[in-house]
Chains A and B, each alone.
Chain A
């Protein structure tokens, strides 16, 4: 009778039995079943064979000289470690105590004498199945562990790449307090802040749908757009349009980004806010008064460009006013009773903090007390931006890395905006960009941008739109000013603003001449100049606002032509001021 040579598998089986005849029978049976056999005649030898031949299954006689089966089983199980090696006792024991001891020692089953061919085949088969199942489980567990380790490593790398793109910007500015988890990008939260070339700052706080890599992937282009455009002087609305369009294009339609753009202008004492899908913002006035700033827009990445509304709300705010913005992780913090922190939690925390405590600390403290988590929740982002005096915010200017290429030195250009384009397009980023090609001007981007901005807003608001500055001095007038500005911007037919930029090198550096002409009626610059020259602040304030004074302070000279609708300024830069910087950055 021929035993089929195994069911396509061959195991290495260790047999330990001090009876030579029993061992011979078992060995022959197993070889006929297609397995390889390793033999030992006592426990010590069994352990030695186990170590040098790593069998798949061990068959052990219970009673053996030198070391009995139970001790051998114990040691073999230790040696096998995580590997599942079934140990089957070969026994003619009949008392149940002894059988139980075999199992306690690590035995997985019994084969009783006399040996039965079918029983042996069935047992070996069953234990092999168990062994393979264990092996599969172990492999899968290890694989999952390994994958998880890889994922963590990849996230770490991705985070480092992201940090390079999305660096913290000016989040470390004295007027900003924030909480964001170091790995918040994988929660889908982003927080960026950038100083604006002409002063003031832009902050973006966002929350992508989903978690992990899909949530993080959209953050990358948003960071690039934000920092790229902010440093070139684009305003919040322009950046929002760009971000929205980009996200609309790259994200699947079920994904979007709730976010808020904050543009803080410390010169005009105003905040511009756009909130699309984030929880209410809280404006805490220096006086202690609170205002709620709800989301008025769809999140980013949903609307197509032509339907997207990037209009930012204008909020007049003075130094000491603070704006709190947050992602929904703040509202969704839960206590041990599974209750939500919610808006009431914020109101309560702010009440508890009173006038003394910083609202940021009040809310963070409120969340900690509520959740009982000292480290705070890792799934939330909270930002507090404080309005400051313009002078206190002077040092945050250019941190961009200068290009090592030599730029143009002798050039000029004329750029003219006409008709309804005056309503829809700001030439400032473009003009700044042209000037920033000159390495000597790049380090002065803040001043250059201020010059361009002031010239442009003078030409547009007081020249083309003929808006009176005095309106801006009262809160009611402030509102009226902006409403009227909106209205008149729609009626700019026949108007233009023309910029002439002239740059040349001088022995000590370079000179930028800017001529800005508009189609307005001009103004009585004679009397204005007179008072500006005599420096009397009272009369100066009555005329032209702070803009012209600022121009005068920054430039070497300021001259009006025609009826006052053409302004020429000369701005000099000196190589001595920048050479050390350039050397430093190129070394």
Chain B
């Protein structure tokens, strides 16, 4: 899980190329959406709703992969599988890993905008 990079520089370069002036908006959107999702993931775990957890972490996985954060995507996928298997303990451990990784990713993405 640690072998993937925090950020895929090449993918980000292409995104910047495609998005042109809207690159900044994209990064901001990703960060604020993901923060919301992480909060919802916590709520789902507290409620013991594995199904809702699965769906939300699946979405976070998709947008992480698209934004060029492959390591975050990989952790999300592991969390999705844990959720599917109803292993809520494992899921809550992975959610902490998601938060940590997201912190790193969002710091680095913000740095790209300066």
Contacts and interface: CB of A to CB of B under 8 A. Distances in A.
A–B contact (CB under 8 angstroms): yes
Interface string A1-40: 1010000000000000011111011001100100000000
Given A21-B29, A114-B65, 18 more contacts: A1-B17, A18-B59, A19-B59, A21-B26, A21-B66, A21-B67, A22-B62, A22-B63, A25-B15, A28-B18, A28-B22, A29-B18, A63-B58, A90-B62, A113-B62, A113-B66, A115-B66, A117-B18
Contacts of B30: 21
> Top 9 closest A-B pairs, CB basis?
A21-B30, A92-B62, A19-B63, A21-B29, A114-B66, A113-B65, A114-B65, A113-B62, A20-B29
8 contacts: A19-B62, A19-B66, A25-B19, A63-B58, A63-B59, A114-B11, A115-B66, A117-B18
B68 A114 contact: yes
Nearest to A92: B62
A26 to B, nearest CB: 9
B49 to A, nearest CB: 13
B19 to A, nearest CB: 5
Contacts of A25: 15, 18-19, 26, 66-67
B26 A24 contact: yes
B68 A24 contact: no
Contacts of B59: 18-19, 63
Query: Chain B interface residue count: which class?
Result: 20 to 34
A1 B73 CA distance: 28
B18 A32 contact: yes
A19 B36 CA distance: 11
A92 B61 contact: yes
A117 B59 CA distance: 20
A1 B61 CA distance: 28
Interface of A: 1, 3, 18-22, 24-25, 28-29, 32, 61, 63, 65, 90-92, 113-115, 117
A19 B33 contact: yes
Nearest to A65: B55
Interface string B1-34: 0000000000100110111001001100110010
Contacts of B67: 21, 25
Contact of B22 (A1, A19, A22, A24): A24
Given A1-B17, A28-B19, A32-B18, A22 B66 contact: yes
A25 B66 CA distance: 8
B18 A92 contact: no
B77 to A, nearest CB: 8
Contacts of B61: 92
A72 to B, nearest CB: 15
Nearest to B55: A63
Contacts of B73: 92
Nearest to B19: A28
B23 to A, nearest CB: 9
A24 B22 CA distance: 9
Contacts of B63: 19, 21-22
A90 B63 CA distance: 11
B65 to A, nearest CB: 5
Contacts of A28: 18-19, 22
A3 B19 CA distance: 12
Contacts of A115: 66
B62 A24 contact: no
A90 to B, nearest CB: 8
Nearest to B30: A21
Nearest to A25: B66
Given A21-B30, A24-B25, A92 B65 contact: yes
* Chain A CB within 10 A, most for which of B25, B30, B55, B63: B63
Interface in B28-74: 29-30, 33, 55, 58-59, 61-63, 65-68, 73
B31 to A, nearest CB: 9
Contacts of A19: 33, 59, 62-63, 66
Contacts of B11: 114
A37 to B, nearest CB: 13
Contacts of A20: 29, 33
Contacts of A114: 11, 65-66, 68
Nearest to A29: B18
Contacts of A1: 17
Given A63-B58, A92-B65, A114-B66, A24 B29 contact: yes
A110 to B, nearest CB: 13
Nearest to A95: B84
Contacts of A65: 55
A227 to B, nearest CB: 81
Nearest to A62: B58
Nearest to A21: B30
A23 to B, nearest CB: 9
A22 B26 CA distance: 9
A355 to B, nearest CB: 90
Contacts of A32: 18
A117 B61 CA distance: 19
A241 to B, nearest CB: 86
A24 B31 CA distance: 13
Contacts of B58: 63, 92
Contacts of B65: 92, 113-114
A114 B63 CA distance: 8
A19 B40 CA distance: 14
Contacts of A91: 62
A65 B52 CA distance: 10
A114 B74 CA distance: 13
Nearest to A115: B66
Contacts of B14: 117
A46 to B, nearest CB: 16
A61 to B, nearest CB: 8
Contacts of A90: 62
Contacts of A21: 26, 29-30, 33, 63, 66-67
Nearest to B58: A63
A6 to B, nearest CB: 15
A141 to B, nearest CB: 40
Residue picked from A29, A90, A115, most chain B C-beta under 10 Å: A115
Nearest to A93: B58
Contacts of B26: 21, 24-25
